Structure 1
Amino acid sequence: MDERFFLYDDTVETKTRFVSFLGKQQRFDLAIIQTDRFYGKYLVLNMQSNRFAIIGQDDLDEPGYLEQAYHLSEEDANDLRSFLNEFIS
């Protein structure tokens, strides 16, 4: 068997928040992971859709970012953006 070549193998401390809320049209079940790994951004996992993104304030301000990352309608993305703006800022 060939020797495995790792690009990295780190263990880091994280702070994780699990939150569930109802938007106007859908439910969001999120795991929001904070670590020093992503330059101050958060790893946000949507456990309903099995999608995730690394998100900072600049990403929330980027038009269409949440829609594309989580495959959301504009209205659902606005619900998520509104919540994350409260949490991230």
Structure 2
Amino acid sequence: MGERFYLYDDTIQAAVRFVSFVGERQRFDLALIETDRFYGKSIVLDLQSNRFAILGRDDLEEPGYLERAYQLDEQDADDLRAFLDECLS
């Protein structure tokens, strides 16, 4: 193997919030990670489905974004959107 070329290798401080809530039809177990790395957006991990997205308030307004990112139907995505609308910057 040749010499490894790093694009970056940083250690940063992060605020992590673990939250679990029940929507109309399903339970959500999430980890929300805030850093200064993603221009004010947070990494939102769905711990049950092993899916994640880097989200900001603008992404919540994009039609179909949460449905695609987390493979949810419209009703479950609306539950997630309502929660994230309350806690994302």
Q: Which structure is higher in helix share?
A: 1
Normalising by structure 2, what TM-score? Answer: 0.97
Deviation at 1:88, TM superposition (A): 1.3
Normalising by structure 1, what TM-score? Answer: 0.97
Residue-by-residue CA offset, 1:27-47 (whole Å, 9 max, x unaligned): 100000000000000100000
% identical equivalent positions: 69
Alignment of 1:1-89 (within 5 A): 1-89=1-89
For the aligned residues, what is the CA RMSD? 0.8
Give the letter for the 1:34 counterpart. E
1:43 alignment partner, SS class: strand
Deviation at 1:26, TM superposition (A): 0.8
Gap runs ≥5 in structure 2: none
1:6 alignment partner, SS class: coil
Give the letter for the 2:59 counterpart. D
Residue-by-residue CA offset, 1:12-33 (whole Å, 9 max, x unaligned): 1000000000111111000000
Gap runs ≥5 in structure 1: none
Give the letter for the 1:7 counterpart. L
Task: Work out the number of aligned pairs and report it.
Answer: 89
Give the letter for the 1:33 counterpart. I
